[in-house]
Structure 1
């Protein structure tokens, strides 16, 4: 039965309403990966934005108004709290930058990717991975963050 449904969905894409900002079943895997790769790049850019006003604007573009970010250290919701959490990380790690490490893995409305935080162009001091879920509007609904490597003195 499941295969019949999947076959029907792929055979009749014009009969399915879909939000063009969402990864769709009729997109190729490469196209979906590109969408989530771009999302992950914008996400990292928001974490690297040092100007408070520009950071708030980046968060508003990227996250849904009720978006949530949670990791072992913080649990915040909404644009203001998320922007403030990013600012707090920047204060704790001045001059450090986030970068994507490896490929973005995605399916349906979620993606996971590894990131590093450290001096630009050098080995990251902190390594983690995030699982991002997008909502109907294509913006981030939730992020579950995990810390894989953290220096002892943090």
Structure 2
């Protein structure tokens, strides 16, 4: 199944969901059981690992939300998109892009994340 651009919206919705049970339901629906997520700061496997990572990011950046920074591009089971992370309505302090690879059922099995802009340590 070819990845679709609406997958980026669903992906970011999972990262933005702060209710643990609702977030876990999104993770279970969207990702394969053996999903692997890798970025410069994290490397986790499985839905439990990803759900824990999302919770940790939310704890580190309370009140911040992920949003698309432009159109998503999808083909052949692959999806790439740029995102912003920051308080709603402000210039985002964090920007990155992700590449997601789906399985034959359209679930995300791999995410490769890149950070383009991060705040300087205090």
Return the TM-score normalized by structure 2: 0.96
Q: Encode CA deviations 1:72-130: one digit per residue, 9 max, x unaligned.
A: 01101111110000000000000000000101112211011000000102111100000
Between the aligned partners of 1:124 and 1:133, the Cα distance in structure 2 is 26
Greater than 6 Å deviation, 4+ residue runs: none
Alignment equivalent of 2:26, drawn from 44, 54, 58: 58
Unaligned runs of 5+ in 1: 1-21, 24-34
1:67 aligns with 2:32: no
Flag the structure with larger Rg: 1
Highest relative contact order (Cα 8 Å, sep 6+), 1 or 2?
Answer: 2
Deviation at 1:36, TM superposition (A): 2.0
Alignment equivalent of 1:39, drawn from 1, 4, 7: 7
Q: CA RMSD in A?
A: 1.1
Aligned to 2:90: 122
Aligned residue pair count? 122
Between the aligned partners of 1:38 and 1:99, the Cα distance in structure 2 is 13
Aligned to 1:109: 77
Between the aligned partners of 1:84 and 1:113, the Cα distance in structure 2 is 22
Higher strand proportion (structure 1 or 2): 2
